[in-house]
Amino acid sequence: MSQSASLVKPNRPRVCTLEALADQVRSGDRISIGGHHFARLPMAMIGALAARGLSDLRYLSWAGGLPLEVLLEADAVAEIDICFSSLDIFGLAPRFRKAVESGRVPMNDWPALALISAFRAREQNLPFLPMQVPRGASVMDRCPAMHPYTDPVSGRDLALVEAREIDVFLMHAARADASGNVELYGAQALDKVQAGAAARVLVTVEEIVPTGALGRDGRSVVIPRNKVTAIAEVPGGAYPCSCLPYYVNDWSALRRLADAAPGDLRATVEALGRDVPARLQRAARVPLAAITPERFQPGAVDADAPATVDEIMAVRIARTMDNDCYASAGAVSPLGNVAYRFAKLTHAPDLIITTLSGGHVDIAPGTMSLSLVETMDAASAVQMTGGEDTYWVAYQGGFVTHEIVGTAQIDAQGRTNTLEITKPSGGKLRLPGQGGMSDVANMHRDFVIYVPRHSPAALVETVEVVSAGRGVLDAQDRIAEGYRPGDVMLFTNLCMFRHDPAAGQLVVIETMPGVTREEIVAQTGFQVIFADDCTEVTAPSAEDLFALRYHVDPLGLRRLEFVGARDRAALLDDILARDRRATDRVIGLPPDPA
């Protein structure tokens, strides 16, 4: 496609129906999807496209997730270029895995910064933009737009990222005005830069309001009308996903989509419709002061009950943070989110926390839930940003100290693999992807990884593919690169490791209460070294446990990362039921008789 003037649009977007909007997507288009996780996904638009018999779509977006699952089931996708794909707390994305593992749909893995740079270059009418090399990872070999480059002025080794134009960008937003300006409320994902890189920007909104009515509450950003091609007013257009300030996620409905049998996903989406339950609308507007631990857990809390391993890990991770830390909650990490909030509540009140991949900046610690956490964080955040802003003002400058990330495999050098693993049969097991891990492994002061279930299959001598690894280890090298010196740490349910430069590998510095050294050695796939001063992790105090169980995580969301597939369904049932009861108490509804 010529890139001479293809991004220029009329000053007044066309207002049309959902069907007319979907008619503007053609087979063979390179499409990109707005929103993030289960927030503001354009589900009505995705459903309309899946019914049209489109083919050969090239899917280029930060995440795959639910929209990609629907389009894959419709056999509409010919190529996938993403950073990450999962169904959040519901686990791996089965249609994505099947398509990639079988080789039916070619797949390119992008570091998040590379994707942002590709879009930004196109938006700025440049052929490429430079970025920091994700040293220590092998993702440059898997991303066709990245090329090594040595800067002739500074002598630094960088990567050049080719511009990528989006043919059509699909976005759901809170509101548009009569002139065609579009308002995003809360976290902005990558929507601004995607809109800037797209030839056609097709938007569904909850409502169209008079010109001049947008941006009045200070919690939103406006995409100007000359960046938008067409708009359709589609109330409930993101349902069962969230669209603040109109409604929150319907987690029970999302569970049904995640569990849909092969061939049934589109029908399940259609059956849900767009009639958003009133309780979800009330939950989106509940005052921050009403979200209290008393309403989430009205009964007594037994702080004297022995600490569980998930609680010990959450508290121990929190103890690595102080008042000068900056923690970013990544894509799917309940454990990290709990640890950050616990630290800010108990001993590090000046800690800065960002959630929804940086969209909510400097939140209050609050009481975590599924249904209300987005409402709570959007209300308490000091600033709302997009994912690209997070890189430009936080990650790349080395401001972030912590972003705890999970991994499927990690080796003795602290290199992780979240891309693919060879099955015993010889085939490949496709994993979610690295998201931005390859970038942040170097950018953050501390590279903190966790493995909830320590085993020889997870802690291996050498990972098969390096999705992320700290390639800039030496303190002076880090300072020269503009990063702060820090640690590489691994937390597991058996022990805590820290990378020791002298040993050249991860070394056990603390063991979990009651865990023997022999057990750690038996469950580790590489040679285990114990530090001379290795001690046992100090168990959380009764005060710690009360803060964790009552104030921070009364639903026990952290537990989701510590159970296998066999027990996960029952735990999800329990958490979803408790979340609904707690949410109804917060918004003032009587108990559900069901």
**Span 144-181, pLDDT tens digits:** 999 999 999 999 999 999 999 999 999 999 999 999 99
First vs last Cα of the chain: how many Å apart?
Answer: 55
Per-chain mean pLDDT for the chain:
94
Residue 566 has pLDDT above 90, yes or no: no
CA distances from 260 to 37, 94, 158, 436, 558 (A): 18, 10, 44, 29, 25
Contacts of 424 (CB under 8 A, 6+ apart): none
Residue 198, SS3 per DSSP? strand
**pLDDT of the residue at 379:** 95
Cβ(201)–Cβ(171) under 8 Å?
yes
* Residues with Cβ within 8 Å of residue 64, at least 6 apart in sequence: 80, 82, 84, 85, 93, 96
> Quick one: pLDDT at residue 4?
47
pLDDT-based confidence at 427, cuts 50/70/90?
confident
* pLDDT, tens digit, 9 for 90 and up, residues 435-479: 999 999 999 999 999 999 999 999 999 999 999 999 999 999 999
Q: In the predicted model, what is the mean pLDDT of residues 285-305?
A: 89
And the tokens for 69? Answer: 């699952």
Q: Is the dihedral of CA 99, 103, 106, 109 positive or negative?
A: positive
Mean pLDDT calculated for residue range 300-322: 94
Q: What is the mean pLDDT of residues 319-343?
A: 91
Instruction: Pull the structure tokens for residue 434.
Output: 């690295």
pLDDT of residue 331: 62
Q: Which residue has the tokens 């100290």?
A: 401
CB 582 within 8 A of CB 555: yes
Cβ atoms of 406 and 561 within 8 Å: the answer is: yes
pLDDT exceeds 80 at position 590: no
pLDDT band at 2 (very low <50, low <70, confident <90, very high): very low
Strand segments (E) across 427-528 = 428-430, 447-451, 459-460, 488-492, 495-500, 505-511
Above pLDDT 70, what percent of the chain?
98
Q: Is the pLDDT of residue 292 over 50?
A: yes
Q: Strand ranges (DSSP E) for 83-165? A: 107-109, 128-132, 146-150, 157-162
Please tell me the distance from the alpha carbon of residue 365 to that of residue 380, in angstroms, as a whole number.
9
Angle at the Cα of 187 (from 339 to 353), degrees rounded to 5? 25
DSSP secondary structure letters along 382-442: SEE--HHHHIIIIITTT---B--EE-SEEETTS-EE-SEEE-TTS-EEE----TTHHHHHH
pLDDT at site 592: 62
Per-residue confidence (pLDDT) for residue 3, from 0 to 100: 47
Residue 525, number of CB atoms within 10 A of its CB: 17
CATH of 16-124+164-272, one of 3.40.1080.10, 3.40.50.620, 3.40.50.1580, 3.40.190.10: 3.40.1080.10
Q: What is the pLDDT of residue 148?
A: 96
Q: Domains of the chain: which residue ranges?
A: 16-124+164-272, 286-402+541-558+565-594, 404-539
Helix-helix angle 565-587:251-258, to 10 degrees = 160
Q: How confident is the model at residue 217 (pLDDT cuts 50, 70, 90)?
A: confident
Q: Omega before 245 cis (within 30°)?
A: yes
Q: Do domains 16-124+164-272 and 404-539 have the same CATH topology?
A: yes
Q: What is the pLDDT of residues 530-552, one digit of tens each?
A: 999 999 999 999 999 999 999 99
Q: Is the pLDDT of residue 298 over 80?
A: no
Query: How many CB atoms neighbour CB 257 within 10 A?
Result: 22
Maximum pairwise Cα distance, the chain: 70
State residue 357's pLDDT score. Answer: 83
Over residues 132-149, the mean pLDDT reads: 95
d(CA 60, CA 384): 24
Q: Which fold has domain 404-539?
A: Glutaconate Coenzyme A-transferase (3.40.1080)
| One-letter amino acid for residue 162 of the chain | E
The CA distance from 212 to 216, in Å, is 9
Going by pLDDT thresholds of 50, 70 and 90, the confidence category of residue 5 is low
| 213, pLDDT greater than 60 | yes
